Amino acid sequence: MSETVAPYSGSQRVGSLMFVSGQLRLEDGALVKGVSAQTRQALVNLVAVLDDGGASLSDVAKCTVFMVDIEDFATVNGIYAEVFGEHRPARSAIAVAALPLGGLVEIEAYVVFGS
């Protein structure tokens, strides 16, 4: 299970559903810089949490992407599409005032097993 920076679970499975908490830009406990690196690392972290829970990207039904600057949407979207490949889960992309630890991008996911 991935480490969290606050008192919550990195993921929680309830029956055939798994809820994955927002993934930031942490790599080996350190922060990575820049929106591209943060997006890639958030997705690497997401894949690790999915793997720990017995799931993969193909099991993801929905993601929510939080960005501090909506102008980063094209960059985030390109990396997101590259990582997810042909799988296209439902998604929301939201601009927010701030993210924990000064992050620029955070990605959470909802997984359905056995669909």
> Which residues lie below 8 Å from residue 82, measured CB to CB, with a gap of 6+?
none
* Cα→Cα distances 107→15, 114, Å: 22, 23
Q: What's the pLDDT band for 1 if we cut at 50, 70, 90? A: very low
Q: What's the pLDDT band for 101 if we cut at 50, 70, 90? A: confident
Domain ranges of the chain: 15-112
Residue 40 to residue 82: CA distance in whole angstroms: 10
Residue 41 has pLDDT above 80, yes or no: yes
- How confident is the prediction for the chain on average, in pLDDT? 90
Q: What's the pLDDT band for 87 if we cut at 50, 70, 90? A: very high
Q: Is it true that domain 15-112 has CATH number 3.40.1380.10?
A: no
Residue 58 to residue 101: CA distance in whole angstroms: 29
